[in-house]
Chains A and B, each alone.
Chain A
Amino acid sequence: MAVPSYFTTGEKIAHYSLRVFVMLVLLFLISPIIAVMPLSFNSESFFTYPMPGYSLKWYEDFFFNDRWTGALRMSFFIAICTTILATFLGTLAALGLARTNFPAKSTIMAILISPMIVPVIISAVGMFKFYAQLDLASTLLGVILAHTALATPFVVITVTATLSAFDKTLMRAGASCGAPPHTVFFKVVMPLILPGMISGALFAFVTSFDEVVVVLFLASPEQRTLPLQMFSGIREMISPTITAAATVLVLFSTALLVTVELLRRRSEKLRGVQA
C-alpha cells in the first residue's frame, strides 16, 4: 500500500514507523514456532544455530519409539472419546437453549460454560480429589470425563452461535409439509447447523488433545498422553525428540483449525451472512 501523495512528512514517518513496528511484532509472534521447527532436523542434540548437520532421527524416535507412539495413540483415543461425548451433550444442550422462553437461560448458560472460565489448575485439583474418592482417578474413564467437561463449553458456544442465525420458520415449514419432528431435525436442522457442530467437535478435540494440567494430576503412567509425555520430558532434560513432536503438533493443529475456519465461512455462506 503506497502512501497517499497528500501526506505530510510527519505522517509519512508515522506511517512507515507503524509498518516497521507491526512487522517486528508479527515476527515476534511467528518466530518461536519458525525457530524451533528447523532444530528438529538437527543431527546433534543441542538447540543452537548453526546446525552441524541434518538428520531425521528425532522424527524416527517420535514415530517409532514405543514411548512416543503409545502416547500418541493414547492422546488420539482420549480425544476421540471426548469429542464424541462433548459434541453429543453440547449439541443437545445448545438446541434446548435456542428454544424461546427458556427459563433462567443466562444462569444455565453460565453454568454450562463454567469449565472454560474456572482456572484449569482449580479444575484439575478438584476433579483429582473427587475422582480419587470414586476410584476414577488414574483411570481412562476419569480422564475422558474430565476432558469432556472441559471441552463441552466450546461445542455449546459454536452450536449456539450457528443456531442464533438459524431461521426457525424452516422447522415450521418442514412440519407443515408433514414431516415428524425427527425428520425435520435430520433433514432440515442438522444440515444447516452441521458446520457449527463440526467446528465445535474440532475445538473439543483440540482441547483434549492439547490438555496437560488435568492429565498431570488425574492420569497414571498408563494414561500417558502426548502432552504429558512432552511435559515430563522437558522438566528434567530436553530431548530433541520434543522439537520433532512440537513440529508435528504445530502442523496438526494448524490443519485442524484451518478446517474450522473453512467451515465457519461455509456456514456463513449457508446462512446468507455477509462475511
Chain B
Amino acid sequence: MAMAQALPSDGVMRAADGTPLKVALARAERRERLKALGLVLPLFAFIVLSFLVPIFVMLYNAVYDPDVAENLPTTVVALQQWDGKDLPSEEVFAAFAADMKKAQESKMVALIGKRLNYEISGIRSKVIATGRKVGAIEAGPYKDAVIAIDKIWGEPETWATIKRSSSSYTPFYLLAMLDMRQGVDGSIEQVPADRAVYIDILKRTLGISLLVTFCTLILGYPVAYMLATTPQKTASILMIFVLLPFWTSLLVRTTAWMILMQDGGVFAQFMNVTGITWVMNLLGVMDGPPELFKTRFATVVAMTHIQLPFTLLPIYSVMKTISPTYMRAAKSLGGTPFYSFIRVYMPQTLPGVAAGCLLTFILCLGYYITPALVGGPTDQMVSGYIASAINTENNWGKASALGVILLIATLILYYVYNKLVGIDRMKLG
C-alpha cells in the first residue's frame, strides 16, 4: 500500500506548492480554456463584426422601413382614428399638408413617393408633384385643396396604404415574396395576378437547382463508379479530368461557356458537325440552326458543368470504401450483375449520393454569376433578383426579403447536411 503511505495526514492530495491537487487541476484547466478562448477570439470577433453584423443589419431591412412613418409623422398619428371606410377627416388632410411641406423642404418627398409606389403603381410622380404644389395651400379646408392637386388623395386605398406604413415595422416585403399583401382592412390577401411574380422566381430557382442536381447525379454517378473501381493508376489520370475544371475559377468557366454558347459559336458548330442539329430539326425540337445563348438550356449546361465535381467527389469517396467482396458475394449467391448492383452496391453509396446532391443543391440555390452571364432574363434566380433590386431599383426592402428567404432555405439545408456529413469535413478538393 505505497499509495496510502504517500497520502498526507488529512487525506488531501497536494501539489508541490501545497495547494490541494483538485484546486490546482481546476485552475490549470481554466487557464488552458482561457488560452484556447484567447486564440479563437480574434477570428470570432472579426467574423461577427465584419460579416455577421452587416448581414443581419441588411436583412433587418426586410421588416424595418421607416420612410413613411418618419416623413409623414403627424399624418400617421392622425390616421390612427380613421376607420378605413370613407375618406379620412379634415384633420388628417391638414396634418398631411403640413408634413408634405416639411418633407418638401427636407427633400424627402421622393423617398415617400418611392415607398408608396411599391404598393400603388404610378403614385411616385403624383407624390412628387403634390410636394411641389402643397406649399401653395395657405389655409383650410385642406381636404378639398389636397384632392384638387391630385385625385389620388381622394382614394381611400391611398390612405389605407399610408396607414399600413405608419409603423416602422412592416410585413409588406416578406408578404410580397409570397405574392401576398395586406388588404385595406388589414387582412392578408393574394396580390393581383399581374403583380404576382415572386412565387415564380422561387419556383424557378428551385426548379433549376433540382434539374442541375439531377443532371450532375446522372452524369457523375457512373464516373464516380468507374473512378472507384478501376486500378489506381488509371483512376488518378482520369481524376485530372474532374479536378482540373474543379480548380478553375467559376468566372473563367462561366466565361468559357459564354464564348462557346454564342449563336454560331463552337457549341453550335459542334452540334452541326455531329448531326445533333439535324436530328433536333427532324424531331421538331429546334427550327433551323441552334440559338443557345441566353437560354435556359445554356444556363443548365453551364451550371451542371460547374457543379459536377461537387456531386461526384463525395460519391467517389464513399464508393472507395465499399469492398468489392460484397458484389462478388452477391453474384456468388446467384444475383444477376444488374440485380446485385441495385440491391447490394447502390444502397451502400446512398450516403455519398445524399451528401453530393445536397451540396450541389445548396450551392445552386445561390447562383448569381452564371445565370447572369449565360442565361436570359427569364433564367435569373433569386440571387440575380437581389442584385437587380439593389443595382437598378435601389429597393433594399425587397432585396432583404429575398435574402431572408434564400438564407433560411440555405441554412435549413446546411443543417441537414451537417447532421448527415459534418460541415467541417467538407471536401475542399
A residues in contact (CB < 8 Å) with B: 1, 10-11, 14, 18-19, 21-22, 25-26, 28-30, 32-33, 35-36, 39, 47-49, 89-90, 92-93, 95-97, 99, 101-103, 108-123, 125-131, 145-146, 148-149, 152, 154, 156-158, 160-161, 203, 206, 209-210, 212-213, 217, 227, 230-231, 234-235, 238, 242-243, 246, 249-250, 253-254, 256-257, 260-261
Contacts and interface: CB of A to CB of B under 8 A. Distances in A.
Contact of B222 (A21, A89, A118, A148): A21
Interface string B58-101: 11000000000000000000000000000000000000000000
B38 to A, nearest CB: 7
B40 interface: yes
Given A26-B241, A93-B40, A119 B414 contact: no
Most buried by A among B252, B406, B426: B252
A118 B32 CA distance: 32
Nearest to A228: B251
B234 interface: yes
Interface of B: 29, 32-33, 35-44, 46-48, 50-59, 219-220, 222-223, 225-226, 230-231, 234, 238, 241-245, 247-253, 255-260, 262, 264-266, 269, 305, 308-309, 337-338, 365-366, 368-369, 373, 383, 386-387, 390, 396, 399, 403, 406-407, 410-411, 414, 418, 423-426, 428-429
Contacts of B50: 127, 145-146, 148-149
A157 B426 contact: yes
A149 B403 contact: no
A47 B266 contact: yes
11 contacts: A14-B337, A22-B223, A22-B238, A25-B222, A39-B266, A48-B264, A110-B418, A129-B57, A210-B251, A212-B251, A246-B256
Given A18-B226, A33-B256, A234 B373 contact: yes
Contacts of B52: 111, 114
Contacts of B225: 18
Contacts of A1: 230-231, 234
B383 A119 contact: yes
B36 A97 contact: yes
Give 4 closest A-B pairs by Cβ, nearest first: A119-B366, A96-B39, A130-B54, A210-B249
